Amino acid sequence: MLTYLANPARFMAFSAWAAPLFFGLAVIAFAVGLPWALAFSPADYQQGETVRIMYVHVPAAWWSMGVYAFMGVASFVGLVWRHSLADVAARAAAPIGATFAAVCLVTGSLWGAPTWGTWWEWDGRLTSMLALFIIYLGYIALWSAMDDEEKAARLAAILCLVGLINLPIIKFSVDWWSTLHQPASIMRSGGSAIHPSMLGPLLTMAGAYLALFAALLMMNMRAAIFRRRVEAARMRGGEA
Amino acid sequence: MNAFVATFRRDVALMWLGGGALAPLGFFLGATMLVPLAMGPDRALLESAGPPLVWISAALAVLATLERLFQADLEDGSLDQMMLSPAPLEALVFAKGEAMWCVIGLPLALAGAPAAIALQAPPSLLPAIVLSLALGAAAFIGVGLIGAAVTAGVKRGGVLIALIVLPFFAPPIIFGSAVAGGDEVGAALSILAGCALAALALGPIAAAAALRLQAE
């Protein structure tokens, strides 16, 4: 599948219908997931209605890390096989991942104020998530600081791979420093600790975020490829 | 090995003679001086907050020197010479990092003692603070090599380096400040030494990969 799409022409043909398709999937999943999560799922017996923030917060946290892992794979492919589409993919994913990280931090803060009694705490999970957001910003800034796209792609890929070290720190921060943020409740040995009536909307929202990421990623990549074509055409026009 | 020693000596000489050693030291002392001005000279407050702020000043002083680390070599062609050398570029980058540690890191660590005293740190902690700053500077430099190499081709890349490198300064800062705070000094020093070794092992590899691309 991926090798098939590695050809830019095939990718353009595929994404021409896949991007709207995934966008439609995201709209449907949000249309189902948001009312389910925000109105029809049960309130928590301890947290009350504030638990609903979790349905926006947790998928954003998952996919901000997932997007970074995706960028790591794309960077590796770009670096090792010098594949330009992988570079385009890594670059196109970064603003989306940064936005997810920002959503995660903001909603977490909004949830923490009534529940923990504080907007922010310098706890391991919160701090490493903030570090992820800053790493995203540095990655984006490095891309835009370089004129030569080829070089920018390789250098940003090196930076992205170095930044991968942060992902396990975020994941295990709740186990290493058990301060404030609650540990994992879904992916844990001994089965999920969350009630099915809450797991349903949560997974729907996670699927919605993923579909949104896929759609936005392909749109960003298409925009980048079109821009490259325009530039190439302009160069040829300038020479003639 | 000869190329390693030659690069080391060249960088020490360049930094030392060019006054590059003095500027970060002055920056460090200046930044430390601003701390009591911002917090007020309250003794109890300084005793708890002072040593960590010495650490922040040291981190910023190292950060301020990173921008030119590879840029000059890229501009005047010495980087091309390093790549032509049979010695691996990683080793030469490591030599540059070592030189930076000797000329900038060690003086910073030593200057940490008077700075910590001025910020009311208990004198019994001074050896630990100096040792931790020496290890911390090694960790900062190891990570900084990557940031400096990745941005070597960017004009006025100072803020960009800071943005890239600062999140990776977090682990040494956490454990360094734990030393300065005086609790579980031995454990914090060991972890700090681990951070420094990891940064010095991985930094030159990533930095050399970035430099090869820059010179293409």
| Each residue's pLDDT tens digit, A176-194 | 665 666 666 665 555 566 6
Is pTM beyond 0.90 here?
A: no
Interface of A with B in 209-238 (CB under 8 A): none
> CB contact, 8 Å: A162 with chain B?
yes
The b-or-e profile of A176-195 (16+ CB within 10 A means b, else e) is eeeeebeeeeeeeeeeeeee
The one-letter code for the residue type at B23 is: A
More confident residue, A240 or A109: A109
**CA distances in angstroms from A205 to A40, A171, B61, listed in the order given:** 14, 20, 45
Which residues of B have a CB under 8 Å from any CB of A? 146, 150-151, 153-154, 157, 160, 163-164, 166-168, 170, 202, 206, 209-210, 213-214, 216
Q: Using the predicted structure, report yes or no on whether residue A240 has a pLDDT greater than 60.
A: no
* Subunit contact A141:B164, Cβ cutoff 8 A: yes
Query: Which of A79, A122, A155, A169 is best to mutate for the B interface (most B CBs within 10 A)?
Result: A155
CA distance B187 to chain A (A): 15
Cα nearest neighbour of A147 on chain B? B154
pLDDT tens, residue by residue, A18-70? 899 999 999 998 888 888 878 777 777 666 777 788 888 889 988 999 999 99
Chain B closest CA to A78's CA: distance in Å? 13
Say how many CA atoms lie within 13 Å of A233 toward its Cβ.
6
| B210 burial level (CB within 10 Å; 0-12, 13-18, 19+) | buried
Q: Give the residue with greater pLDDT, A196 vs A29.
A: A29
Contact: A162, B146; criterion CB under 8 Å:
yes
What are φ and ψ of residue A152, in 5° steps?
-55, -40
Mutate to test the interface with A, among B163, B169, B214 (most CBs of A within 10 A): B163
pLDDT for the residue numbered A169: 78
Q: Which residue of A has its CA nearest to B174?
A: A124
Is the Cβ pair A145, B202 closer than 8 Å?
Answer: no
| Cβ within 8 Å, pair A141-B214 | no
Q: What's the gap in Å between the CA of A149 and the closest CA on chain B?
A: 12
B chain contacts of residue A158, beta-carbon cutoff 8 Å: 146, 150, 206, 209-210
Category of A83 on φ-ψ map: left (φ > 0), alpha (ψ -120 to 50) or beta: beta
A151 — contact with chain B (CB < 8 Å)? Answer: yes
A90 Cβ contact partners less than 8 Å away, ≥ 6 residues apart: A71, A74, A75, A78, A153, A156, A157, A160
pLDDT at residue A93 in the model: 93
CB atoms within 10 A of CB A14: 15
Nearest C-alpha neighbor of B51 from the set B109, B120, B127, B3: B120
User: For position A2, what pLDDT does the model report?
Assistant: 65
pLDDT average, residue stretch A88-117 = 88
| B160/A127 CB distance under 8 A | no
Of B166, B210, B216, nearest to A134 by CB-CB distance is B166
Closest C-alpha among B100, B113, B10 to residue B64: B100
Interface contact A131, partner B, CB < 8 A: yes
Give me the tens of pLDDT residue by residue for chain B, a chain 216 residues long. Answer: 688 888 888 888 888 777 677 888 888 888 888 888 888 778 888 877 778 888 889 999 999 888 888 888 888 888 888 888 888 889 999 999 999 999 999 999 999 888 888 888 888 888 888 999 999 999 999 999 999 998 888 877 778 888 889 988 888 888 887 777 666 788 888 888 999 999 999 999 999 999 888 776
Q: What is the DSSP letter of A177?
A: S
ipTM: 0.76
Q: What is the pLDDT of residue A127?
A: 80
Determine whether the interchain pair B163/A161 forms a contact, defined as Cβ–Cβ distance below 8 Å.
no
Q: Which of residues 20-49 of A touch B (CB under 8 A)?
A: none
